[in-house]
Amino acid sequence: MKFVHIADMHFDMPFTLLSNRADLGEIRRVDQRRAFQKIIEYIKENQIPYLFIAGDFYEQEYIRESTINYISNLMEQIPDTHIFITPGNHDPYLKNSYYATFSWPKNVTIFGGQVEKIEMPECDIYGFGFTDFECTNSEVEEISIENPEKINILVTHANLDGSKVSPKSYHPLSSKKLEQLGFDYIALGHIHKSNLENKNQKIVYPGSTISMGFDELGKHGVVVGNITKENVELEFIPIDEKEFEEKNVDISEMNTLEELLEYFQTIPLEENKYYKINLIGNRNFEINPYSLYKKIENKNIIKIKNKTNLKYSLEEMANDTTLKGIFITEMLKKLKEENVDKEIIEKALEYGLDVLS
């Protein structure tokens, strides 16, 4: 049996902290739609009979009915494909959720808060979904496969082996216990980085379908599988048309903002990537990252982070009797106070010096 396995699409995510570009959230939401359309087209072209969506398909807080209609219309284009959805912590099966209130196409099955088995001619599909924004336990690890002679698939959204990037309240499961259950394939969601290492793997995170930002570097897409009772063959197929990449720029030898802007024009950047530029080294001039960003022509640079150190001494400048000296003195006092966010104070100092320069 052939299938496509996706997870963590996060439809209608606001992407508010992703970029200095005000319009990038809208662009990435369009990218989400384009990615799902590509998945549907792939399923049609290759006559894939099963689509597994392992949670966080949309954002419960932000999802729009127009987006649900868009998704549903695409699903109707593959009526011969059985679609199984297990809600996750971002899209739980709530009484007022679209999972509960929307009229989904006939080929869509949505699992709830009890382990359920759906019998198909060539396989049995087991699923479990979130019914709240947290899930501390389930009966997944106690599943007893009823027909071991058939192909058995488990689809769920879970935090496998106590991942450090995810709290225990997000459906913790043990890979050792899952292996002992005897499933031929376990389609997981929740971790945004794919864990696919070999084509015969049985417990798989496909990763987020498109990247959510600079903590999700590299390619993003779907897992395509072909399973028999004796064999599993998997392939990762990139879907996201953009990748995120970070670059460090050492400005220690630069003396003016104009030099830095000229340097930006010479950086080799790829058209299919979004870039975060980390400014490092000792700076000889003041930098306001947001103001700097607005002066850069290349729109693939979407974020600038100032990680430089002052080459000059703030303590010496504080001795000046000018307004700048008085400002520095007060800000240095703030930095020495307890229970203050030093990063915010440092940013305020940076912006203040830029204004007073």
| Interval 229-260: pLDDT, tens | 999 999 999 999 999 999 999 999 999 999 99
Query: How would residue 163 be classed by pLDDT, with cut points 50, 70 and 90?
Result: low
Lowest mean pLDDT among 68-77, 110-119, 191-200, 277-286: 277-286
CA angle 239, 241, 242 (to 5 degrees): 125
Percent of the chain with pLDDT over 70: 97
Could you give all domains of the chain from N- to C-terminal order, each with its CATH number?
A: 2-238 (3.60.21.10), 243-356 (no CATH)
Mean pLDDT of 81-102: 98
Largest Cα separation within the chain, whole Å, is 85
Which are the contacts of 215, defined by CB distance < 8 A and separation ≥ 6?
none
* SS3 assignment, position 242: coil
Query: How would residue 343 be classed by pLDDT, with cut points 50, 70 and 90?
Result: confident
| Residue 324 pLDDT | 84
Closest CA relative to residue 50, chosen from 171, 225, 297, 262: 225
φ/ψ of 298, rounded to 5, equals: -70, 115
CA distance 156 to 87: 8
| Residue 297 pLDDT | 85
- pLDDT of 167 > 70? The answer is no
Which are the contacts of 277, defined by CB distance < 8 A and separation ≥ 6?
246, 247, 248, 249, 264, 301, 303, 304, 305
Q: pLDDT digit string (tens) for 312-340?
A: 567 777 788 889 888 888 888 888 888 88
pTM for the predicted model, two decimal places = 0.85
| Residue 144 pLDDT | 96
- pLDDT of 201 > 80? The answer is yes
Rounded mean pLDDT of the chain? 92
